Structure formats: C-alpha cells, structure tokens
C-alpha cells in the first residue's frame, strides 16, 4: 500500500499531513530546548548551593573537617557538584544530538517537501492548460458545426427558391461547403486535443502524481524514523550519564557510612585535650581568728591558691576556674586562649597540644634532614666518580653543593636537638632512632665526602666537634657501619642489567664491571645516577646507571 495508489485523489490530505509532521518535529525541538534550559538552570542552582555551603579556606568549618561527620558533609557537597556537572552534560548532549541535528534535518525536509509540491503544482498546471486547449477546440468545433449547418440549410433553401438566381445558389453552396470544411478541421483539432488531454490526464493520475505522492510518503516515513530516533536519544542521553550519577549517589551513601561517632569523639579529645590537672578544693579561710593574723593570712592565702589551668597560665590566682563562664568584655579564662602570644617552643599551648606540635615539628625536621643526608651521599658518590674518572666531570664543581648540603644538615641537626629538648621538657620524648640514624649517616658521609676529599674529624650529633682522645660510643657505631651492612640479610634482586661499557669501580662503594657482563639489580636509581647491583658471587656495589641496560621485574 502506498499513497500514490490508495490516496491518488487526496492531495489536500497529504499536503496537510506532511505539514503537520514538520510542525511536530519543530514542536519537539522546542520541547527539548526547554528541557535543556531546565537542566542548565538546575545544574547552576546545584552549583550555587554547593558553593554556598562549602567551607571557605581557612574558616572554622574547614578546620572541623577532621571530624568524620563534617568530612562526610563536605564529600556530599563535592558529589553534588559532580552531579550538577552531569546534569550540564545531559543538557549539552541533548542540545547537540537532538536539537541541532533535528533542526538541520527539519530544514532539509522543508526544502524537499517544497520541491515535491512544486512538481505536483507544475503537473497540475500543465494538465489544466491542456484542458483549456481542449475546451477551446471543443467550443470552436461546436460553433463551426452550427455555422456549417446553417450554411447548408441556407444553400438548400436558396436552391429551392424559384426566385433565386443561379449565381445566388452557387454562392450559397460554396459558402455551405466552406463552412463544412472548417467544421471538419475543427472536429479533427478537437479530436486531437481530446486525445492529447486524455493522454496527459492518464500520465498525471497514473504516473506523475503517484510518483510525487510516493516521494512525499518516503519523506514522511524518514521524518517519522528520525523523530523516533530523537525520542530514543532523549532517554539514552540521560542513560549514558546514569552510571556516573549512580557513582555520585553511591559516594553520598559512602560518605554517610564513613561517619564514625566514636572516632569523632576521639578526634575532639586529641584536638582540644589540654593536659591540665583539675582544680583542687579551696581551703577555708577563717577571718575570725585574730591571733597570728599575718601568719594565718599568709598560710591561708597559700592554701587557698587553686591548682588549675589559671595557675599554669600565670593568670589571676585568687579566683576559681569557671568551666562555663559567660562571654563578656571582662577578663575571663576563655579570653586568655583567644589571642595567645605564639612562641617558637609552643609554650602558649596547653601541655598536651604542645607535645603534639613539638612532635610534629620533630617529624618534619627529621624528614628534611633525611633528604639532606641522601643528597650528601649522592654528591659524595658523584665526587668519587669524578676523581677516578676526570673525563666525566670536575670534582671541584661539586664543592659548593657539598658545602651547602653540610650547612643545611648542621642547621637541621641543631633545630632537631632544640625541639627534642623542648619535647623532653614538655613531658614527651623524641625519636632517638631517627636521630641516631641521621647523625650516623651524616657523620659517616662527613668522613668520606668533604670538600677537599680528605677525612675530617667527626662531629657529635649536636654539631660540636668531638675530642679525639675521648671515645664516643656513637663513633664505634659509625665505624662499624660497613660491617653491619655486610651482615644484613641479602636483599632479593628486583631485575637484571647488562653492562654497555667497562667501569673500573675504583671508588669506595662501587663495583667494577666489564662490557657485556650481566648483574642483578638490588636497588633502583633514586635520582643520583647510581644503581646498586650484585654479582653471582655475592659482591655488591654501585655502578653508573648510564653504563648499563636495565630490565626490571625479571
């Protein structure tokens, strides 16, 4: 079934139907555009909402994010911000894949429909023109036939008239014959026009218009198919981001599940525990006793002094410590802690908080000191290589870096000892293992890698020069460093390497190798240009990384 066969006489219906289909496409495009505007406004409102409740940098809310319930709320805000981004993505994809595509396709359909209707109009006009010619020839034939009939009747009447002359009779017959001839020509023309019109009419109704109607049908079916795809995209566009939206919602659920009320309570304790002792009982001051007033007042005044945080902070000792004091402009314990004088030893903090800050400072200094120790070791190795292989570089060029590293280490050791002393005074203890290791490593390096290549006297951990005649137990540890290193359990290799060049290995800690020799890699290059390797016989040492081809994980 097709329009050309079954709807051959329904031109107006087809015209209205195709126009209605195009209007539906246009209506759907407007609908999707309004949907995208809603999505964009929704996303914008969500972003503004998350921005409104997101804690500002350095604010009290940001500091409280160490608690799990505050952090969970922050995670929810972040997930909602990501969710808003997905809503924006939905709007963008709908605009690109539906609105723009359908609008472009709609313009093409309008042009195609206009072309088909124009062809139908031309065919209709051609048929109407032929019909007009047919009607004209028919009317002419009718008129000429009547005139010929009248001429024939007049000739017959003249011929029967006895009063008519022969010339009149001949003239009437000639006129009748001429009219009959003209009528025959009109008849033939009318027959030709009729045949032509019937042929064109058959072409119009059985070929031209059915073809145009079928083209319009094909166009309309393609429109319906494209519109159906747009309907599907309306859903698929959101389905594509549904997994990500699901992850955002899962993140919100996870944020709620990660809230731990017990850990929040512990975190509050760790953050605000002062370490003060609770105030003791106040003694009775008996003013009724007149004897030894001065002595009594002195003793009672001494006994009545409260033992609490105010005493430790050096403030008013004649008033008790009120736990729930009202905020006012008067001198209160709360105002004591509002704007304390910050000191380097954190003495302005309560004991417990001071110990934590000092321990944190020690850890930071220890990390910096370890970096300087590693840098010193790398520079020492590089200097030995330059001394043994002058073509690789000038050892003197490393002197400024070695000196600067040594000064940094000395400065950090001094700060470490200072903060460790303060921590001991505060009732805590430092990290003696870290201090011993960093001091030992630094002292060991100071023997091997100094500015002029000679061995200097070792330094004590606090930076002072040790007496040569006074034995230092730590020096024995430093002297036995290599022996301890050899007695450690062998580290399993992490790969292999093949020597590309010969290396003499004349420096301390290095190992010689020949071109093509295969060695086991024990420790990767840490950025100093050296790799630790081991032979099959157990010999270990460092080699230049650029001298070998390394293959890890074998």
CA 451 to chain CA centroid, nearest Å: 50
pLDDT of residue 408: 92
Please provide the distance, in angstroms rounded to a whole number, between the alpha carbons at the two ends of the chain.
73
Does position 355 have pLDDT exceeding 60, yes or no? yes
Does position 201 have pLDDT exceeding 50, yes or no? yes
pLDDT of residue 323: 53
Query: What is d(CA 247, CA 267) in angstroms, rounded to the nearest whole number?
Result: 29
pLDDT of residue 389: 86
- Domains 3-264 and 495-552 agree in fold: no
Among 183-197, 379-393, 481-495, 506-520, where is mean pLDDT lowest?
Answer: 481-495
CA 51 to chain CA centroid, nearest Å: 17
pLDDT of residue 66: 79
Contact criterion met (CB below 8 Å) for 442 and 409: yes
pLDDT of residue 320: 54
Q: Over range 423-441, report the average pLDDT.
A: 55
pLDDT of residue 321: 52
Burial of 212 (0-12, 13-18, 19+ CB in 10 A): buried
Structure token pair of residue 212: 């145009």
Tell which residue, 39, 50, 52, 54, has the closest CA to residue 86.
39
Does position 167 have pLDDT exceeding 80, yes or no? yes
Comparing 64 with 326, the larger pLDDT belongs to 64
Query: What is d(CA 177, CA 152) in angstroms, rounded to the nearest whole number?
Result: 8
The percentage of residues in the chain with a pLDDT greater than 70, rounded to a whole number, is: 78
pLDDT tier at 302, thresholds 50, 70, 90 = very low
Comparing 554 with 13, the larger pLDDT belongs to 13
Comparing 484 with 514, the larger pLDDT belongs to 514
Q: CB 541: neighbour CB atoms within 10 A?
A: 20
pTM for this model (two decimals): 0.53
Query: What is d(CA 276, CA 307) in angstroms, rounded to the nearest whole number?
Result: 10
pLDDT of residue 317: 43
β pairing state of 495-499 and 548-552: antiparallel
Does position 65 have pLDDT exceeding 80, yes or no? no
pLDDT of residue 486: 44
Tell which residue, 21, 45, 383, has the closest CA to residue 224.
21
Query: What is d(CA 4, CA 214) in angstroms, rounded to the nearest whole number?
Result: 5
Among 267-271, 442-446, 469-473, the range of highest mean pLDDT = 267-271
Alpha helices (runs of H) in 392-534, residue ranges in sequence order = 399-425, 432-448, 473-479, 481-487
Domain spans of the chain, in order of start: 3-264, 361-426, 495-552
Strand partners, 478: none
- Average model confidence (pLDDT) across the chain: 80
Comparing 479 with 179, the larger pLDDT belongs to 179
pLDDT of residue 268: 86
Comparing 298 with 134, the larger pLDDT belongs to 134
Comparing 275 with 495, the larger pLDDT belongs to 495
Q: Is the dihedral of CA 176, 182, 188, 191 positive or negative?
A: negative
CA distances from 524 to 486, 517, 543, 546 (A): 19, 18, 11, 12
pLDDT in tens, 95-142: 999 999 999 999 999 999 999 999 999 999 999 999 999 999 999 989
Does position 375 have pLDDT exceeding 70, yes or no? yes
Contact criterion met (CB below 8 Å) for 438 and 474: no
Contacts of 443-446 with C-beta under 8 Å, sequence gap 24+, read 443/474, 443/475, 443/478, 444/478, 444/481, 445/373, 445/376, 445/377, 445/380, 446/406
Does position 518 have pLDDT exceeding 90, yes or no? yes
CATH class of the 495-552 domain in this structure: mainly beta
Angle 386-389-395 (CA atoms, 0-180°, nearest 5)?
Answer: 20
Does position 424 have pLDDT exceeding 80, yes or no? yes
Q: Supply the CATH classification number for the domain 3-264.
A: 1.20.1270.60
Query: What is d(CA 156, CA 345) in angstroms, rounded to the nearest whole number?
Result: 151
pLDDT tier at 14, thresholds 50, 70, 90 = very high
Q: Which residues of 351-365 are buried (b: 16+ CB within 10 A; e: fewer)?
A: bbbbbbbbbebbeeb
Contact criterion met (CB below 8 Å) for 179 and 147: yes
Q: Over range 281-289, report the average pLDDT.
A: 82
Q: Over range 337-352, report the average pLDDT.
A: 69
**HSE of 378, CA atoms in CB hemisphere, 13 A:** 16
């Amino acid at each position: 079934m097709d329009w050309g066969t079954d709807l051959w006489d329904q031109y107006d219906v087809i015209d209205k139907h195709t126009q209605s289909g195009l209007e539906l496409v246009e209506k759907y495009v407007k609908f999707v555009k309004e949907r995208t505007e809603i999505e964009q406004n929704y996303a914008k409102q969500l972003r503004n909402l998350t921005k409104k409740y997101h804690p500002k940098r350095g604010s009290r809310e940001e500091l409280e994010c160490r608690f799990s319930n505050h952090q969970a709320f922050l995670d929810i805000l972040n997930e909602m911000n990501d969710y808003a981004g997905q809503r924006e993505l939905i709007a963008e994809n709908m605009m690109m894949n539906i609105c723009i595509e359908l609008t472009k396709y709609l313009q093409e359909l309008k042009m195609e429909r206009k072309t088909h209707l124009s062809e139908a109009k031309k065919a209709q006009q051609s048929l109407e023109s032929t019909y007009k010619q047919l009607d004209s020839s028919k009317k002419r034939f009718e008129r000429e036939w009547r005139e010929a009939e009248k001429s024939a009747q007049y000739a017959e009447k003249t011929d029967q008239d006895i009063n008519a002359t022969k010339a009149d009779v001949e003239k009437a017959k000639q006129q009748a014959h001429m009219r009959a001839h003209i009528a025959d020509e009109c008849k033939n023309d009318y027959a030709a026009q009729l045949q032509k019109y019937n042929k064109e009419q058959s072409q119009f109704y059985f070929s031209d218009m059915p073809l145009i109607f079928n083209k319009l049908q094909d166009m309309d079916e393609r429109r319906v198919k494209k519109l159906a795809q747009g309907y599907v995209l309306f859903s698929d566009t959101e389905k594509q981001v549904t997994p990500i939206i699901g992850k955002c919602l899962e993140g919100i659920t996870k944020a709620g599940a990660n809230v731990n009320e017990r850990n929040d309570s512990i975190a509050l304790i760790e953050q605000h525990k002062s370490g003060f002792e609770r105030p003791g009982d106040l003694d009775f001051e008996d003013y009724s006793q007149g004897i030894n007033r001065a002595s009594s007042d002195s003793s009672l005044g001494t006994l009545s002094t409260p033992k609490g945080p105010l005493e430790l902070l050096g403030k008013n000792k004649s008033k008790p410590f009120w736990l729930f004091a009202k905020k006012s402009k008067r001198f209160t314990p709360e105002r004591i802690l509002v704007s304390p004088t910050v000191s380097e030893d954190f003495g302005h903090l309560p004991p417990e908080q001071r110990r934590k800050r000092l321990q944190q400072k020690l850890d930071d200094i220890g990390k910096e000191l370890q970096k300087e120790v590693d840098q010193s070791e790398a520079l020492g190795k590089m200097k030995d290589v330059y001394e043994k292989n002058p073509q690789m570089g000038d050892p003197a060029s490393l002197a400024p870096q070695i000196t600067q590293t040594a000064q940094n280490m000395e400065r950090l050791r001094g700060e470490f000892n200072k903060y460790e002393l303060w921590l001991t005074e505060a009732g805590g203890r430092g990290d003696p293992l870290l201090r011993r290791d960093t001091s030992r490593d630094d002292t060991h390096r100071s023997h091997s890698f100094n500015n002029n290549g000679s061995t200097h006297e070792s330094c004590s951990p606090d930076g002072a020069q040790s007496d040569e005649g006074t034995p230092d137990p730590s020096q024995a540890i430093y002297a036995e460093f290599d022996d301890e290193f050899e007695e450690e359990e062998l580290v399993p290799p992490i790969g292999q390497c093949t020597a590309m060049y010969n290396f003499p290995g004349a420096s301390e800690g290095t190992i010689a190798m020949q071109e093509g020799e295969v060695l086991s890699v024990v420790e990767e290059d840490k950025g100093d240009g050296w790799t630790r390797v081991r032979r099959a016989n157990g010999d270990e040492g460092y080699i230049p990384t650029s001298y070998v081809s390394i293959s890890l994980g074998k």
